[in-house]
Amino acid sequence: MARTAPDDGHGTLLPSWRPGVTRDALVAFLDASSELPPERRLACFDNDGTLWAERPTYAQLDFFVDALGRRAEADPLLADRAEYAALLTGDTAALGELGLSRVAMALVELFDGQAPEAFTAEVRDFMSRADHATLRRPLRSALYLPMLELLDALRERGFTISVVTGGGTEFVRAVSSELYGVPPELVVGTAITYAYARDARGRPTLRRSAQLDGRPNEAEVKVSNIQAQLGRAPVLAAGNSGGDREMLEWATSGAGPSLALLVDHDDADREFAYVSAAATVAETEPVTDVARTLGWTVASMRRDWATVFPS
Amino acid sequence: MARTAPDDGHGTLLPSWRPGVTRDALVAFLDASSELPPERRLACFDNDGTLWAERPTYAQLDFFVDALGRRAEADPLLADRAEYAALLTGDTAALGELGLSRVAMALVELFDGQAPEAFTAEVRDFMSRADHATLRRPLRSALYLPMLELLDALRERGFTISVVTGGGTEFVRAVSSELYGVPPELVVGTAITYAYARDARGRPTLRRSAQLDGRPNEAEVKVSNIQAQLGRAPVLAAGNSGGDREMLEWATSGAGPSLALLVDHDDADREFAYVSAAATVAETEPVTDVARTLGWTVASMRRDWATVFPS
């Protein structure tokens, strides 16, 4: 790992961040955070595109398609369903016509009735063997090293770290401890409901349903769900897209030190270069423009990160 | 504090627990828990009647009535509403006729539109000054010392401790760190929903609603909510009533060491003596009979606790 950060009085703090205004802003926040009472030291991180790569496809979609493939081998009739047929043949035109939300709910149905621990085991199996489509590394290592260093620096300063994802809560929980050191109760995501029943021996059991518990965890829903699950507002929030906007604004709306951090994917050589819109629904303004207007700290992958991925 | 536990090779472990089968069962579980992988070390504790006293009235009801009294001074018209009139005059016949659920929802309405941090501050103010009705001690110290020692012993063994309460999530969260060392994300209770909006300066805000988010956190709902919020099953669950039954059964239905602990309120001299029914709805079988049938560990307050409250 390249250690390019000079000795600026902070030793080897954030070694994968290049010197500059972004690193200065992070170090200033870390220093100032000692003013905050311990119970306010909560930092919320989006996952896809903020802690791990989200291109060319979401890791959760890769997992779903892999699971679908294995189920379709055992039950070829599955391929008769329009959503599954489009996924199995990679028919992007058909997928576009069906729409992401209908396709996603069809995929959630694949796990209807599954015990939560079986779902977790299936995710862990996939993540232990899957490679990223283009980055020539295991999917589980397509994580951003500079962000992992930031998690560590925050933890050393008494912060609680939460992953606040638009992805499935239980999908991310299956790997959050191993990848980020974040226990399952600190993953806030899109949740499904559970069906409670007693088994043949009379013991309580839970099974996954195919229904969402509330709305997908994006935009203002992230704010409500953080309060509901974690019971307080963050003073640091990091994201990379319009779905993180309200969470970042919320983190910086209280008194005292706070930080909103936006990861800008502008590095086609080492990762990807793409523009995220400011909102999850049709809005053409790039989220980086919102960041400028609101005074967020922008991490340019190309400019600010000496190293992108762990070795 | 009386240290009556003999040196049984466990030093001063659980000093307020008298020697006997109950303490032996706890010590055996603590020893065996080292076999469990760290991620399975989750212990869930009911609150009312398990960690703190629930008689003669729930602490949350005391808080609500106190808040109602202060609001009725400022706005005498409040007393015209049947639920509030019955509470303000202590008319138990009228309260019985109205029903607990209607009265409770009327009380939740008192806080409709309040910011979450204002609600937390109001709870903390109350808990800092309220005395228990009969125990001659502050409400915040009507906690069971033997249970606090058990929390500590579990924490020393790498356990995550969660408070799983039928009470309001945000009410318990306001004091859970101070009283139990349990951070807000580890309180699972009866939740209200939040309304998201932007304030006059365009910043995101959350306000309490008067609607419950799902069903009250009792019985099988406790099991579903633990999975939804904490992402795994406990291996130890402690409770004192029918509302805890499913949670205790769930904790002991997996493989490996587990423990279901029932607190039996059989000490009229030092606390209260009362029988809890096996279910939250009308069922006459005492929950202690269920404990015998299912092999739970029963903590008799009279027999097993050398000391009940902290000094």
Answer whether A229 sits within 8 Å of B232, measured CB to CB.
no
- What is residue B125's predicted lDDT score, i.e. its pLDDT? 98
Asked if residue B71 has pLDDT above 50, the reply is yes
Q: What residue type is A148 in one-letter code?
A: L
- What is residue A25's predicted lDDT score, i.e. its pLDDT? 98
DSSP assignment of B231-292 equals: SS--SEEEESSGGGHHHHHHHTSSSS--EEEEEE-B-TTTS-B---BSSSSS--SBHHHHHH
Question: Residue B281's pLDDT band (boundaries 50, 70, 90)?
Answer: low
Nearest alpha carbon to residue B31 among B47, B46, B17, B14:
B14
Using an 8 Å CB-CB cutoff, list chain A residues near B249.
Answer: 203-204
Number of other residues whose CB lies within 10 A of the CB of residue A271: 21
Q: How far apart are CA B233 and CA B252, in angstroms?
A: 10
Looking at this predicted complex, what is its ipTM?
A: 0.94
Percent of chain B as helix, strand, coil, to the nearest 5: 45, 20, 35
| pLDDT tens-digit map of A73-113 | 999 999 999 999 999 999 999 999 999 889 999 999 999 99
Question: Residue B5's pLDDT band (boundaries 50, 70, 90)?
Answer: very low
- What is residue B118's predicted lDDT score, i.e. its pLDDT? 97
Structural domains of chain B sorted by starting position, each given as residue range(s) with its CATH number in brackets:
21-55+138-194+201-304 (3.40.50.1000), 59-129 (no CATH)
Residue A261 in contact with partner chain B when CB distance is under 8 A: no
Question: Residue B282's pLDDT band (boundaries 50, 70, 90)?
Answer: low
Task: Give every CB contact of residue A67 below 8 A, 6+ residues apart in sequence.
Answer: A107, A110, A111, A122, A126
Asked if residue B2 has pLDDT above 60, the reply is no
- Residue found by looking up tokens 């991310």 in the block: A172
List Cα–Cα distances, B298 to A35, A61, B24, B154, B162, in angstroms: 46, 48, 12, 18, 20
> Mutate which of B41, B114, B175, B206 to disrupt the A interface (most A C-beta within 10 Å)?
B206
| pLDDT tens-digit map of B79-120 | 999 999 999 999 999 999 999 889 999 999 999 999 999 999
Residue A178 in contact with partner chain B when CB distance is under 8 A: no
Residues 79-118 of B with CB under 8 A from A: 116-117
Identify the segments of chain A with pLDDT beneath 70.
Answer: 1-11, 280-283
Q: Dihedral angle at the C-alpha atoms of B137, B139, B142, B148, nearest 10 degrees?
A: -130
> Mutate which of A176, A185, A224, A296 to disrupt the B interface (most B C-beta within 10 Å)?
A185
pTM above 0.90, yes or no: yes
Angle, helix B59-74 to helix B82-89, in steps of 10 degrees: 110
Q: How far apart are CA A78 and CA A96, in angstroms?
A: 20
| pLDDT tens-digit map of B207-240 | 999 999 999 999 999 999 999 999 999 999 999 9
Q: How far apart are CA B293 and CA B287, in angstroms?
A: 10
Answer whether A231 sits within 8 Å of B187, measured CB to CB.
yes
Task: Give every CB contact of residue B113 below 8 A, 6+ residues apart in sequence.
Answer: B195, B207, B208
Asked if residue B294 has pLDDT above 70, the reply is yes
Nearest alpha carbon to residue B38 among A183, A174, A179, A161:
A183
